[in-house]
Chain A
């Protein structure tokens, strides 16, 4: 799968990269349709202060986690521990404010992101040095990090009253009609998108995911890149944890549990292939927004939100089937192109 890595030499590759773009466009279209349908059913879905805010605010945290997950998936790995990392950093955020009254908010951000990055580095080191499949390692750390979290909280929890008002305001306030959390998520998304598309490091993630053995032979520093991918994923989950604390105020030991599957699901819906090398963080982000927007749209469309997971499931399956169809068509075109020449 090389829509993104081939140099545009012929008409065919151009057409192929168009298909690659259409992939994210399709998801975006689905998202727009959901929003239009829900707004038609109830204009408040979009055209009220709360509706507009929720539309942007609700997916912001998952977008961050999904971007990190997408980077790891592109290297042909997976990070199942992101939910636990998010929960752990969310509680850490609460503890920092409780144990060090008057601590600057920016310091909390830095500490939490660094802590998330450290947890990610543990995953990455185990995966990269021990050459053990990421699924097993991060399944192990999913349990371990969550266990540490529950042990640490010990039935305790952080309440909104424990957190400074300025910090909580971050979770709800808006700037020019756009929630601050959304702005943070967008900034991260733009940086990550630019990094993945234009820098050597980003391109190497794709190269490693497309063919790890070839990347190794070619002399890419696979170990270091893998470590980077997991650190990024952990750090973004850590950032998600701080924002989770700001958004919800109450943090118990179960914060973020189950998010790993939502994050992988969002990336897969957004066209990131689980076999590595394909997709973009943009797609993953749109996937995350679609996933959570559907959740809010269903009751408005008259479908009990109990069915939400079923719809999400159909969506994930539909997205990967679509990917497969596109890949098969692409292969056929490549063969045609070869036969023509």
Chain B
């Protein structure tokens, strides 16, 4: 791994290249991630002051309980999308692991063991994706559309339209338990642990730098000694494992294992990740932005629901937010290049042309 450290560009230098001659405060504050975090803060402040009941602990509890699976899955999805790949099968893995937990627990297996097997199945599912993408060399969008249908089909096939609702009370209570009187659900703790793991993995290890390198240029990364295939494979397995974990949580949270659990969640996760500043082309993004993106959608939904706005308007806002955020960033990039070329033609100092992916 040490050779990777020396030869691949660190993410800081990747962004440094882009912001080469901008002052430090601009570099830190004027980023896509900061814009989303600022927007999140504004929405929270406005909602707390104008929407009755939004500031209460119970709102916070439900908000976190609701976004928890999306937060969880967004972690590995961020890494996968930074490599320029995508995983559409995550929500189907949630459903499959939910069903497997349910079927095994119904068959008399201890819940803990059933959940563990469900996690393993999720990992195997991720490995299937990873194998098809890295070894067979297929585009991940096509592969995971296939496994989306396959895993969902297995989930629905195993349980049909029935549901398993018998789970140990200890676990179902734990999934909804709160930390004392704060209103913050206990589920935040495993999430924070995973967040720490993924943040260190992405932002502080050679492996993480390799992820950015792959997204910027697969060929260059490979030449620089990044094991492109192995990295992607590991990420897909991680996505499968975390999605399965989210599936077990989902099952406990609603006390019901069903084949159609979390249908369509893949789109919610991807929307949040993109909103958080991750480029679909790869090579760009950071976890703090993604967390802010997930929370922004969650807070908006929860505040609007409290303000008696229907879920449909929330959908429109989610979609519009997504479109506006990507279009505006490419519009800003266009403005910047235009200003730059104008300054150049006016005889100013020449500046390095930058690519504006994103």
Contact = CB atoms under 8 A, between A and B. Distances in A.
Contact of A140 (B156, B264, B323): B323
A29 interface: no
B174 interface: no
B354 to A, nearest CB: 14
Contact of A151 (B143, B151, B310, B318): B310
Given A306-B259, A317-B132, A147 B315 contact: yes
A317 B319 contact: no
Given A137-B323, A320-B138, A147 B316 contact: yes
A201 to B, nearest CB: 26
B113 interface: no
Given A78-B141, A136-B280, A142-B319, A312 B311 contact: no
Interface in B169-212: none
Given A126-B327, A268-B145, A306 B322 contact: no
Contact of B274 (A78, A136, A304, A315): A136
A49 interface: no
Interface in B319-336: 319-323, 326-327, 330-331
Contact of A143 (B137, B150, B322, B326): B322
A268 B321 CA distance: 30
B128 to A, nearest CB: 9
Given A130-B331, A146-B315, A148-B316, A313 B151 contact: yes
B271 interface: yes
B136 interface: yes
A264 B267 contact: no
A150 B310 contact: yes
Contacts of B229: none
Interface of A: 78, 80, 126, 130-133, 135-137, 139-151, 154, 253, 258, 261, 264-265, 268, 273-275, 304, 306-317, 320-321, 324
24 contacts: A80-B267, A132-B326, A135-B141, A140-B319, A143-B322, A144-B315, A144-B320, A145-B319, A146-B315, A147-B312, A147-B315, A147-B318, A150-B315, A151-B310, A151-B316, A261-B149, A268-B146, A306-B157, A309-B149, A309-B152, A310-B149, A312-B153, A317-B146, A324-B137
- B149, B160, B264, B313: most-surrounded residue (chain A CB, <10 A): B149
Interface residues of B, dominant DSSP: helix
A274 B150 contact: no
Contacts of A317: 132, 143, 146-147, 150
A321 B132 contact: yes
A316 B142 contact: yes
B139 interface: yes
A210 B11 CA distance: 31
Contacts of A151: 310, 312-313, 316
Given A136-B280, A144-B323, A313 B153 contact: yes
Nearest to A155: B310
Nearest to B153: A310
